[in-house]
Amino acid sequence: MRSPVSTITLDAFLNQPNIEASPAWEFISGRAQQKPMPTLFHSRLQRNLVNFINSQTADYEAIQEFRCIVPPFSPVPDIAVVASDRTQEDGPLQGAPDWLIEIRSPDQSTLDLQHKILHCLGNGTQLAWLIDLQRQQIWVWQGTDLPMIYANTEILPTLASIPVTVDAVMVMVQRRSPQ
């Protein structure tokens, strides 16, 4: 069950003491809403994908549940991949992540996730993935292009030229660490 939604300003939301509780709270379209509690497979994929990306590049850093301030929103992507020179200060990321990754949970609205993704794309995000574990697909947005749907052995676009297929991402739910 999802938490109740309330309507406040972005500044009022950011000053609330509970927004970093687990699971994190987001502020989207004038509404504060707590993210759903992740499943085991969601958590494994999130951890393993962050470790995989970070092991492949020094130019970007993948960070789980990293609050971003993208006025008038404050999203908390499952994974925010940010250029290393943008992660020098503690606190929320000021602006949209360079690459945003969301993992759709069974009780999450695809439209709500797409709304968050489109807002970030309109404010500086260069690449966004929406991972659908149930369908074994990854929706990918690049810049202003329409999304493409990738599956199976298709190689996914990344910002750091990391060779990875949809199958390789999907198997990350099953094991402790990527090979």
Domains of the chain: 38-173 (3.90.1570.10)
Can you tell me the mean pLDDT for 21-34?
A: 89
Residue 15's pLDDT is: 84
Least confident interval from 5-19, 53-67, 106-120: 5-19
| Burial class of 152 by CB neighbour count within 10 A (0 to 12, 13 to 18, 19+) | exposed
Residue 1's pLDDT is: 44
Pairing of strands 137-142, 6-7: unpaired
Whether 3 shows a pLDDT value over 90: the answer reads: no
Query: Which secondary-structure segment (H or E) carries 98?
Result: none
Mean pLDDT, the chain, rounded, equals: 91
Taking the C-alpha atoms of residue 35 and residue 38, their distance in angstroms, rounded to an integer, is 9
Amino acid at 24: A
Residue 108's pLDDT is: 87
Strand partners, 131: 103, 138
Whether 178 shows a pLDDT value over 90: the answer reads: no
Residue 69's pLDDT is: 96
**E strands, the chain, where?**
6-7, 25-28, 31-34, 60-64, 68-69, 79-83, 93-94, 99-103, 127-132, 137-142, 148-151
Residue 6's pLDDT is: 58
The helix, strand and coil proportions of the chain, stated in percent and rounded to the nearest 5, come to 25, 30, 45
Whether 179 shows a pLDDT value over 60: the answer reads: no
Can you tell me the mean pLDDT for 61-83?
A: 96
Whether 89 shows a pLDDT value over 70: the answer reads: yes
Digit-coded pLDDT (tens) for 30-57: 888 999 888 899 999 999 999 999 999 9
Place of tokens 């003491």: 17
Reduced to 3 states, what is the DSSP secondary structure of residue 93? strand
Max intra-chain CA distance, the chain: 45
More confident residue, 144 or 50: 50
